[in-house]
Structure 1
Amino acid sequence: MSSEVTRARADPDRILDFLINAPSPTPQLSEIGLVAEVGDGIAIVAGLERALSDELLQFASGVQGIVLDLEPGRLGVVLLGSSDRVTIGESVMRTHEVVSTVVGDALLGRVVNALGAPSDDKGPIRVQTVRPVEAEAPQILDRQAIARPLGTGIKVIDAAVPIGLGQRQLIIGDRQTGKTSVAVDTILNQKNTDVICIYCAIGQRGDAVAKVIGAIHDGGMSERTIVLAAGDEEAAGLAYVAPYAALTMAEYFSDQARDVLVILDDLTHHARSYRELSLLLRRPPGREAFPGDIFYIHARLLERAGQFTSGGSITVLPVVETQAENLSAYIPTNLISITDGQIYLSPRLVRKNQFPAVDLGVSVSRVGGKAQTKAFRSVAGNLRVTLSQFEELEDFARFGTRLDDATRARLTRGAAVRAALRQAERDPMPAVEQLAVLVAAMEGQFDGLSEAETGTVMATLRQAAACELQDLATRIADNAPLTEDDKTQMIALGRAARASTGGENGANA
């Protein structure tokens, strides 16, 4: 063919014959629609009769959109960019693709948006692999029972509300109760593990996300963490897509038999973004003005987590915000029914300066107890009983009733145990240090101490446990139970820590 073209160019008389006899180019069908309406993150497109649900559309202005509504003669499209860039009458083309995001190891240590584009100043991301953000949840035969613990480094959670690798554990509470702090501390506690972490910020302020990024960097986890941010100043469509993109990135690593921790902070903003888009698309509202499929969009998201037969796992900690401690609101009840338990952070405990403010009366783990190490299991039951009895007696004692010595001793012990559960932010504790503090508190080594004295004794005890209980730390990692000798040694360390801080007069074995 190339020689014929050369001869035709050399002989002008043969050009016409060549063009007539040349094969016709293959016809290409191109569908073009027009924008009929636009505003507030959505667009109504006319003319694309063959478009499919969830298909990605390309606008002439460069903005992309997702087909969410299919109606005769019109498409409801969610924009993945600013609606100010889209004008009425603008042409729209089909892409015959669905929304996808980049995945791969190159994302580790980066801050990206919902489509995998970099949001930091570290240059482009050199990734060739692209996956759809929507994927079917693994089947039953592709799953395994949750049997391995995920340490959070937080005493009250690891002991009383344990989390297993592959679990979906909800973090729920009012504003300013420390939900994000619990999630970030859990990420920081993975420093000595092989767990990959993904922090997905949905509808969060830029300064809040910056604080999280700074905490992850200072904690030494930035190289094994992906931060996916869809801020409140961005399009609602990006906030809607963000958690699905985070799970897609996690699935890339779990397919390689790696463990992944995904934080979704928070699904309240995600639900509100979807409600906003649905109302703009004139979908019929239901309870609290949410659309009828709000349960489905979260169920299909969280069902992608689990422990898989490939050896990998995806652990999801979704965050949800309540108002005035109303756990029976629509979105919280939906998520409680989908997940495998919840960690409830109580404003009542916040007012008592109890951080982390985990309410053990409402918090529960429906799966993690099976993955909890034997060492923690030996102290978890007594911890719950002691605190529940203490809180009941504490409420009763407010009436000024005269109490006998046994009741006073129980109140003193409960107050000491609750004080021992206090823990500073960004200070996740190794398992052996947690157990040393809990055993010492349960055996009365913190009884009668002030808040400041308790903190000093705990710090001394942690240092002693880290130095003198290294063999026990290895056995705890191997899921060995605590022996009586181990408990005796921990009690002795607690007594010595109290004596070294000047509180030996109140120590009881």
Structure 2
Amino acid sequence: DNIREGDRVQRTGRIMSVPVGDALIGRVFNPLGQPVDGLGEIKSDKTRPIEKKAPGVMDRQSVNQPLQTGIKAIDALVPIGRGQRELIIGDRKTGKTSLAIDTILNQKNQDVICIYVAIGQKESTVRTQVETLKRFGAMDYTIVVEAGPSEPAPMLYIAPYAGTAMGEEFMYNGKDVLIVFDDLSKQAVAYRELSLLLRRPPGREAYPGDVFYLHSRLLERSAKLSDKLGGGSLTALPIIQTEAGDISAYIPTNVISITDGQIF
């Protein structure tokens, strides 16, 4: 903390990692894996790097089990499978977060671990979501990762990767996991800010040329693993905010092409 220009720093030589395991369930963390809910330190001696190669073709199997959202229109018409990536896209105040939170609440007694990653959301909004999850008993199977709007851009950038690393630990242990990214538009803006500060050549809408890879390498880590690897799954519900319903903008079209389906 509090590093300033001109300070001397030393590399650790290790890839950035976050704590993982059952001890994280029911807690709220920042993207570095540090608890921010005032409930004290966690007892977890296991860590996992936030960046990891996605499972290969032979490490996956076809999606064969539904993940119920509790919303009949979705479950009947556009059902989501465990291991899929389903994009929730729309303008501000259209119920995107409410849909994701309702899906988490519906996983009670379904043996699904849920992870809610809040990227650039107001602290008061995240507090409201956590209180809702507590009121309905959903924090018993949920982990919250939060990077507020007052955090530096690198924290917003790494938050989804930290949440995915926490979910992968359960997936590779044969469990089913649901992860919500709320929302990836703000992560892309943070990445653009970082890239411009590093003087990388800007492209369309001033985003760097590899902004597609920013989201593809994240969402490809969500999968239904083969039985040989335990048969666990990681289901992703990324959220993208549009402007005036324009789904043809740069970031929305990128994420649409990566995901398996969209809820608009």
TM-score normalised by L of structure 2: 0.97
> Which ranges of structure 1 fall in alignment gaps of 5 or more residues?
1-62, 64-84, 345-509
Output the CA distance in 2 between the equivalents of 1:189 and 1:224: 11
Is 2:250 the partner of 1:330? Answer: yes
Amino acid at match of 2:154: G
Amino acid at match of 2:233: S
In structure 1, the residue matched to 2:7 is 90
Matches within 5 A, 1:478-497: none
In structure 2, the residue matched to 1:3 is none
Ranked by relative contact order (alpha carbons within 8 Å, sequence separation 6 or more), the top structure is: 2
Is 2:207 the partner of 1:319? Answer: no
Deviation at 1:88?
A: 3.2
Partner residue of 2:33 out of 105, 116, 125 = 116
Deviation at 1:215?
A: 1.1
In structure 2, the residue matched to 1:406 is none
Output the CA distance in 2 between the equivalents of 1:234 and 1:221: 26
Amino acid at match of 1:247: T
TM-score normalised by L of structure 1: 0.51
- 2:108 counterpart SS class: helix
User: Residue deviations 1:85-116, cap 9 Å, x none?
Assistant: 23333212121111111101000000011111
Deviation at 1:122?
A: 1.0
User: Residue deviations 1:397-431, cap 9 Å, x none?
Assistant: xxxxxxxxxxxxxxxxxxxxxxxxxxxxxxxxxxx
Output the CA distance in 2 between the equivalents of 1:299 and 1:89: 35
Q: How many residues align?
A: 261
In structure 1, the residue matched to 2:19 is 102
- 1:248 counterpart SS class: helix
- 1:319 counterpart SS class: strand
- 1:278 counterpart SS class: helix
Amino acid at match of 1:187: I
User: Residue deviations 1:356-392, cap 9 Å, x none?
Assistant: xxxxxxxxxxxxxxxxxxxxxxxxxxxxxxxxxxxxx
Amino acid at match of 1:343: I
In structure 2, the residue matched to 1:414 is none
- 1:91 counterpart SS class: coil
Deviation at 1:161?
A: 1.4
Is 2:106 the partner of 1:189? Answer: yes
Q: Indicate the percent of aligned positions where both proteins have the same amino acid.
A: 57
Matches within 5 A, 1:227-306: 227-306=144-223
> Which ranges of structure 2 fall in alignment gaps of 5 or more residues?
none
- 2:144 counterpart SS class: strand
Q: Which is higher, the Rg of structure 1 or of structure 2?
A: 1
Output the CA distance in 2 between the equivalents of 1:179 and 1:97: 37
User: Residue deviations 1:159-181, cap 9 Å, x none?
Assistant: 11110000000000000000000
- 1:320 counterpart SS class: strand
Output the CA distance in 2 between the equivalents of 1:115 and 1:196: 20
Amino acid at match of 1:313: S
| RMSD (Å) for aligned C-alpha atoms | 0.8
- Bigger share in helix: 1
Amino acid at match of 2:165: T
